[in-house]
Amino acid sequence: MKLKKLKRPRWIPLWLSIPFVIFIAFIVMLLFFGDNNYLMIAEQQQEIDRLKAEIKAQEDSAQYYVRKTRELNTDKETLEKIAREQYNMKRANEEVFKTDIP
């Protein structure tokens, strides 16, 4: 019994072979399926970038409050101004009148 060699149909290109198809299928599987696919990695990278931007904003805010705290601890005039304006405090011998006029 002689085995016949399978003929390739005309619509299949010559460069297309079974190892090449398996290789392409493996690459597609790695890129789009599984736990470490390209889409998941791209989403995680966007999340990392967003969180880094948020950390930067929080650090800037923390530096602002550190400066304000240092200023309030060293400058008594600023502390008095804030106490008068925001907390409506006054000295014992003075009267305060508030108006809506800017």
The answer to the question of residue 53 being in a domain is: yes
User: Quick check: is 9 in a domain?
Assistant: no
In a domain, 10, yes or no: no
Read off the pLDDT of residues 33-67 as tens digits, 9 standing for 90 and up.
878 888 888 999 999 999 999 999 999 999 999 99
Domain hosting residue 76, numbered range: 19-87
- The structural domain count of the chain equals 1
Tell me whether residue 76 is in a domain: yes
Q: Residue 84: is it exposed, middle or buried by C-beta count within 10 angstroms (0-12/13-18/19+)?
A: middle
CB 54 within 8 A of CB 46: no
63 found inside a domain: yes
Write the CA distances from 44 to 32, 35, 37, 40, integer angstroms: 15, 12, 11, 6
| Token pair for 3 | 């085995």
Question: Tens digits of per-residue pLDDT, 67-84?
Answer: 989 988 898 888 888 888
Q: Is residue 101 part of a domain?
A: no
- The answer to the question of residue 5 being in a domain is no
Report if residue 13 sits inside a domain: no
Contact call for residues 90 and 98 (beta carbons, < 8 A): no
The reported pLDDT for the residue numbered 1 is 61
Q: What is the pLDDT of residues 13-28, one digit of tens each?
A: 777 777 888 898 988 8
